[in-house]
Amino acid sequence: MQPPLDEILDNFEFLDDWDDRYRYLIELGRMLEPLPDAARTDANKVRGCASQVWLETTIARNADGETVVNFRGDSDAHIVRGLVALAFAIFSGRTASSIIETDALGLFKTLGLGDHLTPQRSNGLRSMVDRIKADARAALAEATG
């Protein structure tokens, strides 16, 4: 089971060495719920990632009637799978409006990921966040329209 975001951030801060941080990201990726083969579709594929990344989005309503968005996903690359897990810790299970307002890229910068990821991985991470936010905007539009 994946740890909550606060625990991930604390663990990340505790690890000084970037090799340890990469290993931690890989471990987070291993904790992801397996994505069924049926969800590995072209429609679920995230464009702009050098690695293959799939993102399955489901929408529900909470007790207050707010639109809640949940994500499942996977990647064929270990570090990227860890980045998927980190993104899910930030976004999954939250309301669509809070997902749209969240500055995940700022959080990634605070963690130092921008300085320690290859340009291709940074672009892929940005593409994944853009896709998550687009799905949240679509869910919100569908709920209100």
Domain range annotation of the chain: 5-144
CB of 14 closer than 8 Å to CB of 44? no
What is the dotted CATH code of the domain comprising 5-144? 3.90.1010.10
pLDDT tens digits for 4-63?
Answer: 999 999 999 999 899 999 999 999 999 999 999 999 999 999 998 889 999 999 999 999
Q: Residue 16: what pLDDT? A: 87
Which residues are designated catalytic?
49
Q: What is the pTM of this model?
A: 0.94
Q: Which long-range contacts (CB under 8 A, 24 or more apart) does 59-65 make?
A: 59/96, 59/139, 59/142, 59/143, 61/143, 62/95
pLDDT tens digits for 111-120?
Answer: 988 888 888 8
